[in-house]
Structure 1
Amino acid sequence: MTEPFSETPALCGRLRQPRQMLADQRYDGHKSIHDDAMAEGLGLSAGPIEGPTHFSQFDPLLHHVFGKAWFETGCISAHYQNMVVEGEEVRAFVEPVAAEPRFVRLWAEKRDGTPVLTGSASIGDAVGLPHELQQRIANLRPPTGLVINRDLRVGQRGAVVEKIRMGFDTHMGDHYPFTLADKLAVITEPSPWYTRESGHESPWGRPIIPTEMISVLLGSTSAQSGLSGRKPAVGLFAGQEIRLLQGPLFVDQDYELEREIIALSESARTESVWMRTRVYDAGSRALVAEMILNGAVMKASYPDYESEARALYGSA
């Protein structure tokens, strides 16, 4: 017997204080849930930090487990549990699974143990692996009383092929009112592979886009798709999966995006659109990445929710 213990211990990152970058975010002519006043009006203590910001804290741990393959064929799948506001400390954990060396469980929590997110990660072919969002989608019940999202349908595709590029100084629009350079100045886990000064030293010979900023790249043009519910309504990210197929994604590279609704759901407080975004290299049209996003809108933020629910279904 060469190993004295039967289980591999979980890896644990350092406590970090992620920064709020979306206080000035706007869409549909109004501020978002990340604005303090808007958040407080919906019963929250302050504008929360966007969920994928926490993905950066997993990158060093997952690179430690999987090596550079993490940035080439990595998949991170997470369900967001509790919001984090600026000033709170968060720690990331990764737990290897002995029976599957390509797959790990992961979670993040605040200093006091409050859960932030739970999920999974892998490298290589992710088909058949028990990833967090795949399991949640499989267990969804068909919605019976959609109001805000009643005009949307599973299988509905975006109106256009969206063209996108992220340079260091590219302003990513009203949805993301900051640049990659702004993010790199405050990112919780800096890396020379991300930077304009040293990115050429990465294994791929050029700067790569951090995992959390893939969400920004793919989300910045989402309004072009036309795949949104009735307005005005305030949304938030409830879960997210980013999967690299031929990664990394690179700074100053042209990509094309195609979107499709793969599920619709509802809870007592929200209605959700589960959207798959496929990322293609603009030159070769090779499929290089995919994202699944559970975009939830808060029923209480839609002014006519109760009256329209009564008219449609006989009750609010």
Structure 2
Amino acid sequence: MQAFDTQIDEADGWRAGPLRAPAQMLADQKYDGHKSIHDDSMAGDLGFNAGPIEGPTHFSQFDPLAVEAFGMDWFRTGCISCHFRAMVVEGERVRAFLKKEAEDFALIRMEKEDGTEVLKGTASLAGADRPSALRERIQTVTPPEPKIILRDVEVGMTLPRQTATMGPDEHMGDLYPFTLNEKLGKITEPSPLYRTSAEFGGPVIPMEMISVLAHHLPKGFPVRGPVVGLFADLEIALHDGPLIAGEPFEIEREVIALSGSRKTESAWIESRIYRPGAADPAATVLLNSASLKGSFDGYEEEAVEAA
């Protein structure tokens, strides 16, 4: 079975997919008891033109490039790891690029139609000699000073395993107000593997939807709020894949780093997705969950007091 029928071009060593206009599916997302940054009005209040499309949505455009570069092992031990650099709103068209550097390692980037860089990072298979983009990046981050939004969050905080599934018609809650089948109706790169797969024993959960599986549960960590958050960096890595729709999972989460910027405080959260009772995860998701300082009432006053 052919995984994708996406047209792929090549120039100067870079594989390139077609321009796509990904769909916005989070306009009705509820986050921390209020509308999220993906709502146009909330985004406008924070100085953005419109509610951005969720970052993991872009990962689907890299799947055909990665399968051509690495073969079907992409669905077993693939890892996509990136830093988001610009937001994309519905109606904008973007293109994915991949440059293979070794048999199991590649650079990736995504650009808007006008050349604006949307994200950059790496794609790789398990066992690659080089670290992924985020595993390298996380070695350089330092905690925010002072901590205001993340005052009560510490590195090493762990949430115990929680059960989770992603059935084809299972609504994924307030954070992700849609089903897998609804996503497949709008995904930029459809694949027959997402509907059924004899090779893998069932319908494969797309890479971008592994983020939904990892993050649809209540956040759990004591982040102060209300506050508006966004995905600043994201890595999805398969260790014993693929993940199959309807399969039972257990998800454990841990804060493995804290960082800050002029506009954000960030908790780096690793979600480990296990099959029930397994000692080793089938997949891991590393997220730089950035909270916007400007969305937290009284931030500047508390920062002055803490200085």
Q: For this pair of structures, how many residues does the alignment match?
A: 297
Distance in 1 of aligned mates of 2:284 and 2:42: 31
How far apart are the structure 2 equivalents of 1:121 and 1:220?
Answer: 24
Mark the CA change 1:278 to 1:149 in structure 2 (over 3 Å): closer, same or farther. same
Change (3 A) 1:251 1:185: same
Residue 143 of structure 2 corresponds to residue 177 of structure 1 = no
- Report the equivalent of 1:200: 197
The 2-side partners of 1:274 and 1:40 are apart by 26
Deviations along 1:64-111, whole A, 9 cap, x unmatched? 1111100100111010000000000000000011xx211000000000
The answer to whether 1:115 aligns with 2:120 is: no
Would you say 1:250 and 2:247 are equivalent positions? no
Asked if the contact 1:8–1:96 (Cα under 8 Å) also holds between the matched residues in 2, the reply is: no
Give me the whole-angstrom Cα distance separating, in 1, the residues matched to 2:72 and 2:92: 30
Is there any run of 5+ residues in structure 1 with no aligned partner, and where? 1-6
Given candidates 277, 298, 301, the residue that maps to 1:304 is 298
Matching of residue 44 in structure 1 with residue 48 in structure 2: yes
Looking at structure 2, the residues matched to 211 and 104 of structure 1 have their Cα atoms a distance apart, in angstroms, of 17
C-alpha displacement of 1:145: 1.1
Q: 1:56: which partner in 2? A: 60
**Partners of 2:283 and 2:131 in 1: CA distance:** 19
Change (3 A) 1:132 1:228: farther
**What is residue 286 of structure 2 aligned with on the other side?**
292
Unaligned 5+ segments in structure 2 are 1-10
Shift of 1:284: 4.1
Shift of 1:131: 1.6
Residue identity matched to 1:113: G
Match of 2:158, SS state, is coil
1:72 to 76, 82, 85: 76
In structure 2, how many angstroms separate the alpha carbons of the residues matched to 1:70 and 1:18?
22
Give 1:151's aligned residue: 152
Which residue does the alignment assign to 2:257?
Answer: 263
Q: State, as a whole percentage, how many aligned pairs show the same letter.
A: 52
CA offset at residue 285 of structure 1?
4.8
**What is the aligned counterpart of 2:234 among 240, 243, 248?**
240
Residue 135 of structure 1 corresponds to 136
1:242 maps to a residue whose letter is: I
| C-alpha deviation, 1:33, in angstroms | 0.1
- Describe how 1:202-221 pairs up with structure 2 within 5 A: 203-221=199-217
Query: Which amino acid in the other structure matches residue 188 of structure 2?
Result: T
- Give the TM-score of the pair, scaled to structure 2: 0.94
Which residue in the other structure is 1:3 paired with? none
Q: Please, what TM-score do these two structures have when normalized by structure 1? A: 0.91
CA distance in 2, matches of 1:284, 1:269: 39
- For 1:19-47, what per-residue CA distance to the aligned partner results, in whole angstroms no more than 9, with x for missing partners? 00000000221000000000000000000
Classify the secondary structure of the residue corresponding to 1:65.
Answer: helix
Alpha-carbon contact 1:102-1:123 (below 8 Å) kept: yes
CA RMSD after TM alignment: 1.3
